[in-house]
Amino acid sequence: MNNKKCKNESFLTGAHSRLRDMGRIFEIIWDFWNGFRRLRTVGPCVTVFGSARFKEGDEYYDLAREVGKRLGQAGYAVMTGGGPGVMEAANRGAHEVGAKSIGCNIVLPREQILNSYADIKISFDYFFIRKVMLVKYSTAFVLLPGGFGTLDEMFETLTLIQTETISDFPVILVGSDYWQALGPFVEKSLIKHSTIDVEDLDLVKVTDDLDEVIAIISACDKCEL
């Protein structure tokens, strides 16, 4: 087991010695600084999320590749979690049209290797630092079909918007067939029990029209090129 895997696996395992915790603080500072210095000049950037499990030739891989291409043609850098599947496809699409293609990788127990289409490649030791970077340097999120990680990233971002921690930040779901089951759950549970307001539904858009995706992002003041 390499040191990076040990960092991830030991981080949330309870109390450690004061000396070990102090050492970890310096590791965290370095992880943040590495992200800050590498990403500070990426310019207007859109983060694309989705499953690592889709292969080339799958409809969602092809869709993500087209999303990355269209975003790049519109003048945006494209950032992903750096892995395979949707992440690789979005980076690939951006790379193919000469746009900045960025991969923010995380080392996992089941090794995730940075895809070859990310021109700017960064690996983080800690999940929470990687998630900060994916929001901090992004002006919008486009989410394609994915699993727990994709849902986590979507709901965490929506929470930041709902609590006015960030603003003017489009969140767009692409692949309506995949996302359609989410609507009834939100309406029958979250809305019914008033755990969110009806107005919160406006925080996320669902569309398969890539022209609309670009139009939504371009209309955002923060996303101006």
Query: Is residue 142 very low, low, confident or very high in pLDDT (cuts 50, 70, 90)?
Result: very high
Across the chain, mean pLDDT equals: 90
* pLDDT attached to residue 9: 62
Domain harbouring 18, CATH code: 3.40.50.450
Shortest CA distance to 46 belongs to which of 157, 199, 182, 149? 157
Chain centroid to CA 156: 11
Residue 106 has pLDDT above 70, yes or no: yes
Residue 167 has pLDDT above 50, yes or no: yes
- The mean pLDDT value for 2-9 works out to 54
Q: Residues with Cβ < 8 Å from 147, sequence gap 6 or more?
A: 51, 53
* pLDDT attached to residue 20: 85
CA quadruple 142, 143, 148, 149: dihedral positive or negative?
A: negative
| Proportion of the chain above pLDDT 70, given as a percent | 92
2-6, 134-138, 145-149 — which is least confidently predicted? 2-6
pLDDT tens for residues 71-89?
Answer: 999 999 999 999 999 999 9
Query: Is residue 2 very low, low, confident or very high in pLDDT (cuts 50, 70, 90)?
Result: very low
pTM: 0.90
- The number of domains in the chain is 1
β-pairing verdict for 120-124 and 140-143: unpaired
Q: How far apart are CA 156 and CA 135, in angstroms?
A: 10
Backbone angles phi, psi at 224, to 5 degrees: -60, 140
- The mean pLDDT value for 24-35 works out to 93
Query: Is residue 59 very low, low, confident or very high in pLDDT (cuts 50, 70, 90)?
Result: very high
* pLDDT attached to residue 175: 96
Query: Which structural domain, as residue segments, surrounds residue 219?
Result: 3-223
Q: How far apart are CA 167 and CA 19, in angstroms?
A: 39
